[in-house]
Amino acid sequence: MSEIRPLLPFCVSTPGVAPPPTAPAPQEAAPRPDRVDLQGLPPLQTPKKAVTVLAESFGYAEFPQASPDGRHVLFNVVGDYDTSQMILMKADGSEKRALLTGERVRARDLPEFLASQRGRIDEQGTWTADGRSVLYRTNSQGQFSIARFDLEDSSARTVVHLPEMNLKHPVETSEGYILGYGGPPDATYKTSERYSDIFLADPRTGQIEFLTHSDGSVSYKHPSQMKGAILAHVEPKKGEDPKADLVALDPKGGAERNLTRTPDSDERHPFYNPRIDLVAYHSDDSGDKNLWLATPDFERRVQVTFYGKPAQSPSWSPDGQTLYFVKKDARQPEGEPFYKRQADIRALDLPKALKDLCSQARERCHQLEKEGAPETLQSAAREALEDYRFFLERSRTAGAQD
């Protein structure tokens, strides 16, 4: 682990004391150039030859994360609201084993495996920079804490715990701290929070500094680092279908920037990759949850999957050439075991996908011109083609660094 510099004074230093509620900081919207609405364009198709299924028939699988050396992928399997465990597999989808116990787990073994772990939630695993450990959330102490699992000696220990609050989604920073989010448990679902804030923790001492201070009307979730800022999504806590936006937070207490500013669509789970200098996230801007790419300033963005059912929770391979994601199928009725739901873990070869999408976008331009479509529509199609070309070149440049 990287050498840890001393943290600044904590906002929260007394265990069990939540940050004082305050109104959300004013959100400075990122500038966005005027663009023709693309909804009227003929849709593109998911580049099927660029997609590989790594784990199927593993029920409600979620949250894939690649190891720093790119050789393994970690993901969750969920049994019910009280049971969830992590599965470690090779990057080609082979040799799936339970992370904490080391036992082999095949799709047909899943119900029995989850039954043996009933009541245990150990999930949302992310890798430390050295690849020797996994940070994850666990209910081993009642409420959710952050733990570390050492892959060399198979030992686990709690590193951050705040009684009476759920702590989730740990991510190691470049300085060796832990980013995450947490809040007071929901009265009905103990795995959820009434609202949540982003925290920074020192794994040596367990001390926590909260970086956001929600007044309860919003939740900040899924933080990670991006060029000295903290990338996250913020969602309203009211409404039947709350729409989240992606935000960039200044860890020193500066202004909060709204990166997407899309009140009618939902953007979540952003991850930045410094090798390719792009952000991957999922959005329902086109109607269904699908994978998108954006530059860090979000002035350019493109959709890279076009499924009719959710494709979500993207994460990067270290070299920026692959996106791992969750592809969901039809949702099972409430009351059915979670393992009967279908959510595959898939891998998208990004250069191959973008090359295919460039070809589709180019053909769309030719077809619109042939049909004599309105110039505004043709202009939008040409602009989309240029965006795909831009992202394809970015992926090729990142790949050439090897």
Strands 27-29 and 256-258 come out as parallel
Residue 39 per-residue DSSP state:
G
Instruction: Note the pLDDT of residue 317.
Output: 97
Across 155-159, 188-192, 257-261, the highest mean pLDDT is recorded for 155-159
d(CA 285, CA 315): 19
Q: Is the pLDDT score of 34 beyond 80?
A: no
Over range 116-132, report the average pLDDT.
96
Tokens of 292: 């998108």
**Which residues make beta-bridge pairs with 91?**
none
Q: Is the pLDDT score of 21 beyond 50?
A: no
Would you say residue 21 lies in a domain?
A: no
Confirm if 179 and 192 have CB atoms less than 8 A apart.
Answer: no
Instruction: Note the pLDDT of residue 29.
Output: 41
Instruction: Domain count for the chain, please give it.
Output: 1
Q: Please state at what angle helix 350-371 crosses helix 375-399, rounded to 10 degrees.
A: 160
**Which residues make beta-bridge pairs with 368?**
none
The predicted model scores a pTM of 0.90
CA nearest to 173, candidates 209, 217, 142:
209
For residue range 241-270, list pLDDT tens digits in order. 789 999 999 988 778 899 998 888 999 999
Instruction: Note the pLDDT of residue 334.
Output: 60
pLDDT band at 114 (very low <50, low <70, confident <90, very high): very high
CA nearest to 65, candidates 55, 79, 56:
55
Would you say residue 60 lies in a domain?
A: yes
Range of the domain at 101: 54-399
Would you say residue 200 lies in a domain?
A: yes
Q: Is the pLDDT score of 125 beyond 80?
A: yes
Would you say residue 28 lies in a domain?
A: no
Which of 116-130, 172-186, 294-308, 333-347 comes out lowest in average pLDDT? 333-347
Would you say residue 121 lies in a domain?
A: yes
pLDDT band at 339 (very low <50, low <70, confident <90, very high): low
Which of 24-38, 67-81, 112-126, 220-234 comes out lowest in average pLDDT? 24-38
Which of 29-33, 38-42, 283-287 comes out lowest in average pLDDT? 29-33
Q: Is the pLDDT score of 6 beyond 50?
A: no
Instruction: Note the pLDDT of residue 39.
Output: 66
d(CA 360, CA 85): 40
Q: What CA–CA distances, in Å, run from 377 to 40, 218, 305? A: 7, 37, 21
Tokens of 356: 């295919």
Location of structure tokens 């936006």: 245
Confirm if 125 and 147 have CB atoms less than 8 A apart.
Answer: no
Q: Is the pLDDT score of 402 beyond 80?
A: no
Instruction: Note the pLDDT of residue 164.
Output: 85
Confirm if 341 and 60 have CB atoms less than 8 A apart.
Answer: yes
Give every CB contact of residue 163 below 8 A, 6+ residues apart in sequence: 15, 16, 142, 143
CATH of the domain at 284: 2.120.10.30
- Looking at per-residue pLDDT, the higher value among 256 and 295 belongs to 295
For residue range 163-177, list pLDDT tens digits in order. 889 999 999 999 999
Provide, rounded to the nearest whole percent, the portion of the chain with pLDDT above 70. 87
- Looking at per-residue pLDDT, the higher value among 317 and 142 belongs to 317
Confirm if 289 and 251 have CB atoms less than 8 A apart.
Answer: no
Q: Is the pLDDT score of 369 beyond 50?
A: yes
Q: Is the pLDDT score of 228 beyond 60?
A: yes
Q: Is 196 exposed, middle or buried (0-12, 13-18, 19+ CB in 10 A)?
A: buried
d(CA 219, CA 196): 5
- CA of residue 172 relative to chain centroid, distance: 14
Over range 107-125, report the average pLDDT.
94
